[in-house]
Amino acid sequence: MLTPIDVQAKIFKSGMGYSKADVDSFLTNLYADYGTLYKENMELKDKTNLLNESLNRYKDIEKSLQKALVLAETTSEETIASAKTNAAVIEQEARVKAEAIVADAKQELENIRSMTVELVQKYESYKSQYKALASAQMELLSSDAFNIELTKVDSLVVSEAPAAKPVYQEAAAQVAANAAKEAEDDMDETVSMEDDTMIKDIASIFEK
């Protein structure tokens, strides 16, 4: 491409043909116009180069953004998948723990039920023993061993001391009362010990 300097330096041969003055005038005008166009063209080329550079930078940025977007999508999918996996693991662990707790609770309930049945059986046994003991004590109190014949006591009293007879009768009655009281105390002590044992067994259940 001709430059303005090339146009200005152009020399035409003299001879027959165009007028030299006209050619020089035309070349002068052409130089000026061409110089302006050439300058504008160079400026446009510079601007085009700048635009191309900016465009390339934007393309690089776009590529980087696309890579980042793809990476973000991939990471998001991996994160979601990992979260689902972790959630499934946590859910499974929670289910296993819950089943273990329920199983332990059922076993504890069964143990309490068994202990309750055992205590009820012991209570029934103690009650039967108490009834048997009470029956035996009542039979003992009704036996001849606790029957004191006042006539025999009276025969030992001297006839000259009639006032002493009530004393012996009172003594005999006191002996009988003491024997009955002793038998009753023995029976109450036995029952109390058995009741204390049963109460302690029941209390031990609730302490657990």
68-96, pLDDT tens digit by residue?
A: 998 888 888 888 888 989 999 999 999 99
Q: Is the pLDDT of residue 36 over 90?
A: no
Instruction: Report yes or no on 165 lying in a domain.
Output: yes
Instruction: Report yes or no on 150 lying in a domain.
Output: yes
CA 31 from chain centre, in angstroms, equals 91
The count of structural domains within the chain is 2
CA 123 from chain centre, in angstroms, equals 42
Instruction: Report yes or no on 62 lying in a domain.
Output: yes
Instruction: Report yes or no on 96 lying in a domain.
Output: no
Q: Is the pLDDT of residue 150 over 60?
A: no
Instruction: Report yes or no on 119 lying in a domain.
Output: no
Instruction: Report yes or no on 105 lying in a domain.
Output: no
Instruction: Report yes or no on 131 lying in a domain.
Output: no
Instruction: Report yes or no on 33 lying in a domain.
Output: yes
Q: Is the pLDDT of residue 101 over 90?
A: yes
Closest to 173 (Cα-Cα) out of 187, 143, 153, 202: 153
Domain extent at residue 25: 4-9+17-88
- pLDDT-based confidence at residue 134 (cuts at 50, 70, 90): confident
Closest to 129 (Cα-Cα) out of 190, 86, 173, 74: 190
Find the distance separating the first CA and the last CA of the chain, reported in whole Å: 107
Given this model, what pLDDT does residue 78 score? 87
